[in-house]
A and B are shown apart, each in its own frame.
Chain A
Amino acid sequence: MNYSWINQMQIPAGMNVDGIFGIAFIAILIGLLVMAAVLSPRQKAWWPMVVAASGLVIAAQMIESTQVKSILIDAAALLAVGLVWYETREKSKSAWLNYLVMIAAAILMIETGSALLRGESIEAGLGTNKLAFGLLIAGFCLKLAFMPLYFWLPDVAERANPLTSAFIISIVDIGAFLELFHLRSEAPFLFDGYSTIWLVIAILCMLGGAILALAQTNVKRMLAFSTIDDMGYLLIGLLAGSEVGLTGTLVAAICHAFFKLCLFGSVAAAEKFEGRELTLDGSHGLASRYPVSSTVFILSALGMIGVPPLLGFAGRWRLYLSGYEQGGFLLAATMALATGLALLYYVRVIHKVWLGQPVADAKNREPLNVKVILLVFVIAMLVFGLMPGWVTGLLAG
């Protein structure tokens, strides 16, 4: 087998991935900035760092060269680390330190793996190549917080400002995931030759992420585990490598980015004006104070698990089909089980934090610009969910 893949990046079957995600990232960045005008942390450095890191990710979508893309995404990840350090340095050392060490290690592993393969013909049985693929798999697991190397993400989500978490998950992480996506066509052996390992990682993400999310009482931490959970589904589509699987992965990744922005945005609005973190024990009936945020949270949570008619379904049914094609009924049922667990943890938050008897005065405290942004994004997800052909058609080029 001969896979000479570095510097010959191609997008599978004419898919217009970079263009669509470039637009998506710009929309998310605008949404973030508009919400941040009211909800942002006090630190002045937040704005330039977020704009710069997002700019790097957006620029990466416009550049052909794999190496440059990779460098830009890595730079964005390091800026995100810097932002987390800036925000949490006084509160929690572990959050930024773990994030820094793990992202640095991930970059090192991915670059080493790539260097070992660069310009070489890849022989399946060659020891160096096996090491290279191992480094790539472990590196991406660390970078994208896949199970079992997920440790930095829950801490960062819990300690950082919710909008910072939204920025990391919706822009930096999805940008990094696109790196992995491109490898699907450039280095198919990384997936086809190691499908068992990837499948185990995907199932661990889906089930492990969902089970651990169920155990959380801090809403932001729970959302971090839900990201890990969702990444498992994205991996299933990527692993399939078929058009259905890849389209499912891309649609699900877009949904992930937008819904996570909405989820963290809703939490940010409530936390800002409540003056405390949202937890399952300490908050109840917030929908009466934050009706738009709660509605958006509920719809985004349902969208995350693929409930129609939101756009998430257009990704999820393809991913289920890919799962069935790869692992038969058992894998499809496992995916459904994990989704069931996801429904349970989201429903817990919805009913313990947002709905129910309000604890105190029910005066609406949501700022107008936050309401507008959240509604625009969630309505867009609903409209695109009703007509997903608009999105999948654009992706197909």
Chain B
Amino acid sequence: MDHLAVIPVAALGVGILLQLALGGFLSNRWKGILAFLAGLSSFIAILGLLPLVHANGFVKENLFVWDRNILFQFHVDGLSLVFGLMASGIGTAILFYCIQYMSHEKEGTTRFYGLMLTFIAGLVCLVFSENLLAVYISWEIIGLCSYFLVGFWYKQDAAVQGARKVLVMTHLPGYGLLIAILMLYHQTGSLVWTDPAVGAAFTTGIFLLVFLAAMAKSVLFLLHSWIPEAMNAPTPVSALLHSACYVKAGVYLVARMYSITTWNPAWNQIVLVIGCSTIFVGAVFALVQTDLKRMLAYSTISQLGYIITGLGLGTNLGLAAGLFYCMSHGLFKGTLFLCAGAVQHSAGTRDMRHLGGLAKKMPFTAAIWLIAASAIIGVPLTNGFIAKWLILDAAMESNALIVVVVAWIVSVFTAFYMLKATVSTFYGEESSELKGKHIHDAEPSMKIGMGVLGGMCVVFGVAPQLLMQSVIEPAVKSMNGGWELQLSWLGIQTQSAGLNMTLAAGILVVLSVVAGLITLTMTRKSANQAGTVSLFTGGDPLTEEVDVTVQDFAALAETAFNPIYQITDPDRVYFPLWRGIKTGALWLNHSIQIGLEKHAILASAVLAIVIIGLAAFV
């Protein structure tokens, strides 16, 4: 069928146009349904490309002449499909969730749905485009969408300040990508990334420029501090930003460099250092958060570190692990955000200090949260387990022991902050702030939206081979990688270093359970005598008055990691830098006003004479 590659973008385009044309007449609910249908059509159309990509390796489509002799064309391969499916699939689930979530919004829903669809379309164009200028344009379109969506509530100072930071911190490094593209064009005369000449001209300098742009979009360490500030957006925006459409754009760029050129092994070190730093810093900052969405934002930073680290390992298994982690993260992080949105929607707050005991009133949301939280922690039977396992396996196979250690330690941190969030939001006593409020579980479309995503976490945790064979394998091949992974049910693979690790882990788990049961049996009597406690305290009993809260967890982490917070917060450099620029500008302006502008005519005469004099000497 002709033009099959265009249909996903066309479906979204029609959706955008319908929003603009009918927005004034439709109710919020119908706008949501319309947007959902556009997203679904796009997702189905991308699914329809899968057999073609399996059969031919890629689908190519000439689109139109954009500017003079610059032709825009699509080149859809396995890697494009990973990101295209993620953007449209997760995006569609989020749009379904929006139908009820946004139904009470008083104004701006046409703008909202138009931007959400443009956001998804932008990412699909980014990953489908063969022309590098089209890649840059798509890159900036999703940047603009994120700016306008984060600042959706533009009458709220907090929202617009967050949007401002998003724009500045992601747009500026984007010039790295543009300059890299122009350098390639200057050297080769080609803007098409499939052109072998472009690959041959791809130097380390160009890699660094592209990686700089990717770092900003994918919240990698040093350019990550915008994302927690972007949390004052409607929750579906946060979900789309974090799971599918925005932070994954940088991952795509890094992955795509494997397709464009022969990957230089020296680049692995750069990617791994940044990746591991990001894993650690994101998690350490997540530990101290008391705002549910901010905590999830920092956890995104950490998880993106895992993904980039997988790609940075550079082996076939590493690439597969990175891509599988990328898709898994999209699913569980999207779910977590939608659950957080349901909590905020119902409880009116996302501050964990004022939450608690919601599992009784929001059982469905709590259950879905538990699945997604288990996935992000890496509990078996979820996709997160397979993803983490593959990353550790790939790291062991590459003898990257530091990666193994960092990934393992941070997995513990992840479990720590996710349990903190789970307990303080859904379990324990209901907080006094919530008493008397009419708290109810999420509404049906919200339940379906997050339920579908949460369900996928389990499906791909039990049967990861479904995703591996259909999507990840062609993607790795399109990155010039080989496919040697044989995964079966539950992600068991018997052909790599992972076998020993799994065996060791299995033995440890069994021993721990046995030891726990023995301890429980032996100490039950004495524990009863001393009085039971509801929290694990390392064995020390607590008095009735002592109540360990989320603040205590945060304070504990803050004390323990204080020097790390000081060192690893890049805003401590950026803000003084900005103040310095502003002070310098004010000083220059003042000096010029006093020295030159007051005597503008005289100053102009002197300077004109200087220019004429200089011309005489040239």
Contact A149 B182, beta carbon cutoff 8 Å: no
Contact B581 A214, beta carbon cutoff 8 Å: yes
Q: Does B539 contact A (CB under 8 A)?
A: no
Q: Does A327 contact B (CB under 8 A)?
A: no
Please report the C-alpha to C-alpha distance between residue A350 and residue B168 in the assembled complex, in whole angstroms: 12
- Give chain B residues whose Cβ lies under 8 Å from the Cβ of A290: none
Q: Does B589 contact A (CB under 8 A)?
A: yes
| Additional A-B contact list (12), CB under 8 Å, known A302-B144, A313-B140, A320-B178 | A138-B615, A151-B596, A155-B597, A194-B618, A215-B588, A307-B140, A309-B140, A309-B141, A321-B182, A347-B164, A351-B160, A355-B155
Contact B136 A308, beta carbon cutoff 8 Å: yes
Taking CB atoms and an 8 Å cut-off, the chain A residues in 133-186 that contact chain B are 133-135, 137-138, 141-142, 148-149, 151-152, 154-155
26 A–B pairs (Cβ distance < 8 Å), ordered by A? A101-B604, A131-B612, A134-B613, A151-B604, A155-B597, A193-B618, A211-B584, A211-B588, A212-B585, A212-B592, A287-B154, A288-B155, A308-B137, A317-B133, A324-B179, A332-B179, A344-B578, A347-B168, A355-B154, A355-B163, A358-B155, A362-B155, A387-B66, A388-B66, A389-B65, A389-B70
- Give chain A residues whose Cβ lies under 8 Å from the Cβ of B164: 347, 350-351
- Give chain B residues whose Cβ lies under 8 Å from the Cβ of A197: 611, 614-615, 618
Known contacts A98-B601, A134-B614, A329-B183: does B137 contact A309 (CB below 8 Å)?
yes
Taking CB atoms and an 8 Å cut-off, the chain A residues in 281-323 that contact chain B are 285, 287-288, 302, 307-309, 313-314, 317, 320-321
Contact residue among B171, B205, B584, B592 (Cβ-Cβ distance under 8 Å from A343):
B171
CB distance from B139 to the nearest CB of A (A): 8
Q: Does A196 contact B (CB under 8 A)?
A: yes
Please report the C-alpha to C-alpha distance between residue A388 and residue B66 in the assembled complex, in whole angstroms: 7
Instruction: Please give me the residue from chain B that is nearest to A193 by CB atom.
Output: B618
- Give chain B residues whose Cβ lies under 8 Å from the Cβ of A309: 137, 140-141
- Give chain B residues whose Cβ lies under 8 Å from the Cβ of A350: 164
Chain B: interface size category: 35 or more
Q: Main secondary structure on chain B at its contact with chain A?
A: helix
Contact B175 A336, beta carbon cutoff 8 Å: yes
Contact A149 B585, beta carbon cutoff 8 Å: no
Instruction: Please give me the residue from chain B that is nearest to A212 by CB atom.
Output: B589
Contact residue among A134, A194, A285, A329 (Cβ-Cβ distance under 8 Å from B155):
A285
Please report the C-alpha to C-alpha distance between residue A94 and residue B593 in the assembled complex, in whole angstroms: 13
CB distance from B426 to the nearest CB of A (A): 34
CB distance from A248 to the nearest CB of B (A): 11
- Give chain B residues whose Cβ lies under 8 Å from the Cβ of A285: 155
Please report the C-alpha to C-alpha distance between residue A39 and residue B362 in the assembled complex, in whole angstroms: 56
- Give chain B residues whose Cβ lies under 8 Å from the Cβ of A148: 607
Contact residue among A343, A362, A387 (Cβ-Cβ distance under 8 Å from B167):
A343
CB distance from B618 to the nearest CB of A (A): 6
Contact with A along B470-489 (1 / 0, CB 8 A): 00000000000000000000
- Give chain A residues whose Cβ lies under 8 Å from the Cβ of B590: 215
Contact A149 B172, beta carbon cutoff 8 Å: no
Q: Does A274 contact B (CB under 8 A)?
A: no
Contact A351 B161, beta carbon cutoff 8 Å: yes
Instruction: Please give me the residue from chain B that is nearest to A98 by CB atom.
Output: B600
Most chain B CB neighbours (cut-off 10 Å) among A307, A325, A392 = A307
Please report the C-alpha to C-alpha distance between residue A324 and residue B179 in the assembled complex, in whole angstroms: 8
Please report the C-alpha to C-alpha distance between residue A162 and residue B140 in the assembled complex, in whole angstroms: 31
Instruction: Please give me the residue from chain A that is nearest to B156 by CB atom.
Output: A357
Most chain B CB neighbours (cut-off 10 Å) among A130, A134, A154, A329 = A134
Please report the C-alpha to C-alpha distance between residue A105 and residue B582 in the assembled complex, in whole angstroms: 34
Contact residue among A130, A344, A362 (Cβ-Cβ distance under 8 Å from B615):
A130
Q: Does B68 contact A (CB under 8 A)?
A: yes
- Give chain A residues whose Cβ lies under 8 Å from the Cβ of B578: 344
Contact A134 B182, beta carbon cutoff 8 Å: no
Q: Does B186 contact A (CB under 8 A)?
A: yes
Chain A residues proximal to chain B, CB less than 8 Å: 94, 97-98, 101-102, 105, 109, 127, 130-131, 133-135, 137-138, 141-142, 148-149, 151-152, 154-155, 193-194, 196-197, 211-212, 214-216, 247, 285, 287-288, 302, 307-309, 313-314, 317, 320-321, 324-325, 329, 332-333, 336, 339-341, 343-344, 347, 350-351, 355-358, 362, 387-389, 392-393, 396
Contact residue among B179, B581, B597, B607 (Cβ-Cβ distance under 8 Å from A329):
B179
Contact residue among B167, B596, B605, B608 (Cβ-Cβ distance under 8 Å from A141):
B608
Contact with A along B120-164 (1 / 0, CB 8 A): 000000000000010011001100100000010011110011011
Q: Does B603 contact A (CB under 8 A)?
A: yes
- Give chain A residues whose Cβ lies under 8 Å from the Cβ of B596: 151
Instruction: Please give me the residue from chain B that is nearest to A135 by CB atom.
Output: B612
CB distance from A42 to the nearest CB of B (A): 28
CB distance from A288 to the nearest CB of B (A): 6
Please report the C-alpha to C-alpha distance between residue A350 and residue B167 in the assembled complex, in whole angstroms: 12
Instruction: Please give me the residue from chain A that is nearest to B141 by CB atom.
Output: A309
Q: Does B21 contact A (CB under 8 A)?
A: no
Contact with A along B67-79 (1 / 0, CB 8 A): 1101000000000
Contact with A along B567-605 (1 / 0, CB 8 A): 000000000001001101110111010001100110111
> 3 tightest CB-CB pairs across the interface, nearest first?
A134-B615, A134-B612, A215-B589
Contact residue among A138, A332, A336, A339 (Cβ-Cβ distance under 8 Å from B612):
A138
CB distance from B108 to the nearest CB of A (A): 10
- Give chain B residues whose Cβ lies under 8 Å from the Cβ of A133: 615
Instruction: Please give me the residue from chain B that is nearest to A356 by CB atom.
Output: B157
Known contacts A308-B141, A336-B175: does B157 contact A357 (CB below 8 Å)?
yes
Contact B608 A142, beta carbon cutoff 8 Å: yes
Instruction: Please give me the residue from chain A that is nearest to B133 by CB atom.
Output: A317
Please report the C-alpha to C-alpha distance between residue A329 and residue B176 in the assembled complex, in whole angstroms: 11
Please report the C-alpha to C-alpha distance between residue A309 and residue B126 in the assembled complex, in whole angstroms: 13
Please report the C-alpha to C-alpha distance between residue A182 and residue B69 in the assembled complex, in whole angstroms: 25
CB distance from A264 to the nearest CB of B (A): 21
Known contacts A105-B604, A141-B608, A287-B154: does B66 contact A389 (CB below 8 Å)?
yes
CB distance from A190 to the nearest CB of B (A): 10
Most chain B CB neighbours (cut-off 10 Å) among A154, A308, A393 = A308
Please report the C-alpha to C-alpha distance between residue A320 and residue B618 in the assembled complex, in whole angstroms: 26
Please report the C-alpha to C-alpha distance between residue A314 and residue B67 in the assembled complex, in whole angstroms: 8
